[in-house]
Structure 1
Amino acid sequence: MNQFALIRKQRLILLVSVGLIAATAVAGMGLGYSSLSFDRLLPVLFGHGTFKEDFVMFSVRLPRIVITLLSGMALALAGSILQSVTRNDLADPGLIGINSGAGVAIAVFFLYFPIDAGTFVYVLPLVAFLGALATAVLVYVFSYSRTKGLDPIRLVLVGVGFSLALSGVMIVIISSAERSKVDFIAKWIAGNIWGADWPFVWALLPWVILLIPFTLYKSRSLNLLSMGEESAIGLGLKLERERLVLILAAVAASASAVSVTGGIAFIGLMAPHMAKALVGPRNQLFIPVAVLLGGWLLLLADTIGRNLVDPDGIAAGIMVALIGGPYFVYLLLKK
């Protein structure tokens, strides 16, 4: 397929993805423990609803939809970057320990540091970023070889090891904590969309707005890195600097998302693969598709999960794992 035809195909897929997001969002607005009639959605959105309808729409449903969409986009972006940088199709921030590192940092901060309600929402992504960054550095160090460079297979194995170890650390941390705080951490581990309020949207939105254009700007570097170290160096890429900057971007995207949604894995694994299957491996083409698909997948999982069981539903992280787990096994066998 020539370049112009591929670009047209990408634009069509982007349009379809936006349509899927819109349809799922409409379903999410109308469905739930307090049902909202679909023929009332537009009047309520335009300010003609009752007090109950306004509360359900603007205080409960809409912020949850937006935060879920933004988080799925950020996780898909992180997975896209990691897969290109490491040349490993199994790389995902949830699988290689980055999300677990963010979770441990959040647990320590939540349990042992004084929390100011006014700044808690905005400090949380920074705390998650520091924890995720520390984990990413350790995984990178243990996966790197002076003779072979970054070993993609070793990266996944080391990352899974760190993820399991950090899960054990999390259990130790919460074993002596107050019951109410343990409940919060347990919901975070399950991937429950807990930060479903407008302040969390404003805290997450700047990270997504900055990181998506930055990653697209770096798409040429990602293309070169995905070709291999020798090819990248031969074409003039400053390998270590670009790799470090891009890994930092992936860590920031992942940490900002999981700080408000909890430990959700597999979105960063599935969305890039689906996008590559549709438009090919060039980063400037598949990343926009992956970002929209990631947002849609998490929104769909949360919409289905919270309506399966009344009143609390099933955590989005569990719904995603039900699909992502078998998909990970399939990729493992295939690759």
Structure 2
Amino acid sequence: MIMNALVRKQRLILLVSLGLIVVTAVAGMGLGYASLSFDRLIPVLFGHGTFKEDFVLFSVRLPRIVITLLSGMALALAGSILQSVTRNDLADPGLIGINSGAGVAIAVFFLYFPIDVGSFVYVLPLVAFVGALITAALIYLFAYSRTNGLDPIRLVLVGVGFSLALSGIMIVIISSAERSKVDFIAKWIAGNIWGTDWPFIWALLPWVILLIPFTLYKSVRLNLLSLGDETAIGVGLKLERERLVLIMTAVAASASAVSVTGGIAFIGLMAPHIAKALVGPRNQLFIPVAVLIGGWLLLIADTVGRNLVDPDGIPAGIMVSVIGGPYFVYLLLKK
């Protein structure tokens, strides 16, 4: 009975989250430097708009909305996995250095490797994944102990240390680059949604489509991992293999997102917490809710930030940090 009630509650929350996403997306389509009246949205969507209206909606607004939504979902998924695997409620790919590793890899690739315009969009998530995976492997090695296993507190401390070190490396890289390329890296660091064309959506979409169902398939194993190593081993779980597979899944989700949105933190921290508070700690229940909440949080942060200051607005990464920073401190004091 309790489980049935939770499932019904989850479905209701999913519907509410979808409603919030639709309302925010509609607001994002109409608001902006080049205004598009709301009563014209339906006709334009069905191909009855002027050239200007078609350009504003299909070439500027709609790709940005879709890419922001997908990226927020991927970041929330990564945070959900990391919190369950490490048993640490403060785990977030942006806070423990994984996003920074992806950023350094993107910066090195962008500055020092020949770029083919046709394949650049699709190669970028792979480059980010390699950088993030190397960083995650190093963090795991430094945080892991043969006697105590993976220490959740040590993981966060090591991750924060790596994040600071990689930020220093990024500064060194920027100082030796030419001005035009520095502007791109600076926008990436600020979390400015820059991959706002349809090709970036096609590059990100397969990652999201594959990783979300795979994580839900692994949700029972995530439940066991979140209970502790002894419990997981006691029920016959191949601990290290499952942990590594799931960490790689989190790294892939995070890297694919930040490769087109920039260095955005706190989405992977806040969305799982909100979802757990609503439907409880079972991964099969809270992960779908967290994914939708993460997409909505980044979408509303970008929509609000984009319209606060004309013409460029405030980067979504900064808007999220304004909320996420105090929330992180609150969790730190609470835990």
Q: Same fold (TM over 0.5)?
A: yes
- 1:176 shift after superposition: 1.4
Write the mapping of 1:68-217 to structure 2, written as runs, cut at 5 A. 68-217=68-217
SS at 1:183's partner residue? Answer: helix
TM-score by length of 2: 1.00
Could you tell me how far 1:68 is from its partner in structure 2?
0.1
What is the CA-CA distance between 1:25 and the residue it aligns to? 0.0
Which amino acid counterpart does residue 102 of structure 1 have in structure 2?
A
Instruction: List per-residue Cα deviations over 1:269-318 (Å, max 9, x = no partner).
Output: 00000000000000000000000000000000000000000000000000
The Cα shift of 1:75 comes to 0.1
Cα RMSD (Å): 0.5
User: Which residue of the partner structure matches residue 59 of structure 1?
Assistant: 59
Counterpart amino acid of residue 39 in structure 1: D
**Counterparts of residues 17-28 of structure 1 (less than 5 Å):** 17-28=17-28
Q: Distance in 1 between matches of 2:118 and 2:186?
A: 24
Shift of 1:141: 0.2
The residue correspondences of 1:307-326 to structure 2 (distance < 5 A) are 307-326=307-326
Q: Which whole-Å CA distance do the structure 1 matches of 2:225 and 2:324 have between them?
A: 26
1:78 CA displacement = 0.1
Q: Secondary structure at the match of 1:313?
A: coil
Q: What is the CA deviation profile of residues 37-88 of structure 1, one whole-angstrom value per residue up to 9, with x for unaligned ones?
A: 0000000000000000000000000000000000000000000000000000
State the alpha-carbon separation in 2 of the partners of residues 2 and 135 from structure 1. Answer: 41
How far does the alpha carbon of each residue in 1:225-255 deviate from its partner, in whole angstroms, 9 at most, with x for none? 0000000000111000000000000000000
Structure 1 Cα separation of the partners of residues 3 and 164 of structure 2 = 43
What is the CA deviation profile of residues 163-216 of structure 1, one whole-angstrom value per residue up to 9, with x for unaligned ones? Answer: 000000000011011101000000000000000000000000000000000000
Q: Percent identity?
A: 89
Normalising by the residue count of structure 1, what TM-score does the alignment of the two structures yield? 1.00
Letter in 1 for 2:139: V
Instruction: Indicate yes or no: 2:37 matched with 1:37.
Output: yes
Q: Please give the per-residue CA displacement for 1:86-118, whole angstroms capped at 9, x wherever unaligned.
A: 000000000000000000000000000000000
Counterparts of 2:133 and 2:317, CA distance in 1: 22
CA distance, structure 2, for counterparts of residue 333 and residue 154 of structure 1: 17
1:10 corresponds in structure 2 to: 10
- Structure 2 alignment gaps of length 5 or more: none
**AA in 2 matched with 1:21:** I
Q: Which runs of 5+ in 1 are unaligned?
A: none
In structure 1, distance between residues paired with 2:80 and 2:3: 21
Whole-angstrom distance in 2 between the partners of 1:98 and 1:125: 14
Aligned residues: 335
